[in-house]
Amino acid sequence: MTSDRPTASTRAALLALIALLAILTPSLSAAAGTEPGTDPVSTTPAPRPVLLSSAPVAGGQVNPGGAILLQFDSPASVNLFAIPESGRIRVLPLLPVTDPTTVSTLLPDDFVAGQRFRLVVTGVSERPWQRTLRFVAGAAGPATATEVPAAVGTMVGSGGQVHTFSIQVHRRVSEESLAFVRRSMRVLTDPRGWTGAGRHQLLPVDDPKAADIRLLLAPPKRVDRLCRRDGLDTGGRVSCWNGEFAALNINRWRYGALGGGFRSLWHYHQYLISHEFGHGLGYKHAQCPRPGALANVMQQQTGGQAGCRANGWPYPDLG
C-alpha cells in the first residue's frame, strides 16, 4: 500500500518552485493602488519584469561591476535602485540596450562579496509599482570593459546645460527613503519639471561628491547645520539650498506645508523638490505676480502663497 504523503524530494521540489515563483511574480501590493497622497493616475497595468539569466548572473549572484539584465513584457520607462542590507540607496545607471523591452544596469563596484541587496524597479510614468529581486554580490571581481557597455546614466532632457545630480537619504534605509527617491525621480523627469523647456539636462550620478546638485532628505538638525554653512537659519522647520545640498527637512516631507494651500502631500512634494532643486540650477526667489495667479515655483510657498495659487512645477503648462 503506497502512501499519499509526498516524499522529501517532492517536498523540496515544491518549495523550490514556490521560491522561484515568489521571485518572478510582481508585487501585488504595489499594483493594488496609488501611493497615499498621489494624484489620480492611469489604471493601465504596469509592464511585468522578468529576470534574464545573463552571463554575470548565476544562482542569485552577480559580480560587483557586472551587468544585470531585466526584461519586460512591453516597453517601459523605469528607474532602478540597489538597496543593500546596510548602507545607502544607490540609483543605478541604465545602459543602452537595442531591445526596447530590456533594461541593463551595473552592480556598483564597491559592493563587497557576499553582501545581500535588493534590486528595486519602479515606473516613472506608469501606475506606481515596485518590483524587488534579491541578489548576493559574488566574489569574482568586476567585469572587464569589453563585457559591459560604457555608460554612466540616463540623461533627462533634450537641450540646454547639463547638470549632474544625486539623491541621498540621511542614514537609515527604509520604505520612506525609497519613496523619496522614487518621487524625486518622478518630479525631475516630468515634462513639467526643469527639463521641460529645453534649458536644462539632468544626469543622475552614483557618486554624490561628483554631483552638481545633491538632493538630500534629512532630519531638521542636519538640515539646519547644512543651511548654516550658507548663512541660512532654517529653524528646524524648513529646507534650503546651501550651494551644494538641496537639503529637505524630513518633517516637511512627512507633514507638508506650514501654511497650507496645497491640495495633497504629493502636490507639496512637487514644489519642495522643484523649488530647492531650482536654487541649485541658479534660480532666485520669485514673488506672487498678482492675487489669484498660479505661483511661480521659485516663490516661497511653504508658509503660504501670498494670494497666489499653490504650484509645484517650473513649467506647469507643459504637462
Nearest to 161 by CA among 274, 248, 280, 77: 280
Q: Same domain for 311 and 168?
A: yes
Tell me, yes or no, whether 18 lies in a domain.
no
Q: Same domain for 132 and 270?
A: no
Q: Of the candidates 141, 172, 203, which is a domain's last residue?
A: 141
What's 284's domain CATH number? 3.40.390
Predicted local confidence at residue 17, as pLDDT: 42
Q: Same domain for 211 and 303?
A: yes
> What is the number of structural domains in the chain?
2
C-alpha cell recorded at residue 208: 554624490
pTM for this structure?
0.61
Tell me, yes or no, whether 309 lies in a domain.
yes
Q: Same domain for 171 and 305?
A: yes
Tell me, yes or no, whether 26 lies in a domain.
no
Q: Of the candidates 108, 141, 174, which is a domain's last residue?
A: 141
Tell me, yes or no, whether 172 lies in a domain.
yes
Q: What is the pLDDT of residues 178-205, one digit of tens each?
A: 678 778 888 998 999 999 999 999 988 7
Nearest to 38 by CA among 172, 182, 237: 182
C-alpha cell recorded at residue 130: 515596485
Predicted local confidence at residue 128, as pLDDT: 39
Predicted local confidence at residue 80, as pLDDT: 79
Secondary structure element (H or E) that encloses residue 131, with its range: strand 130-137
Length of the chain: 319
Tell me, yes or no, whether 11 lies in a domain.
no
Tell me, yes or no, whether 135 lies in a domain.
yes
Q: Same domain for 178 and 306?
A: yes
- Domain hosting 128: range is 48-141
Tell me, yes or no, whether 204 lies in a domain.
yes
Tell me, yes or no, whether 166 lies in a domain.
yes
Q: How far is CA 145 from CA 106, 148, 202, 247, in A?
A: 12, 6, 25, 36
Low-confidence ranges of the chain (pLDDT < 70): 1-67, 71-77, 96-98, 109, 113, 122-153, 171-175, 178, 206
Q: Same domain for 173 and 259?
A: yes
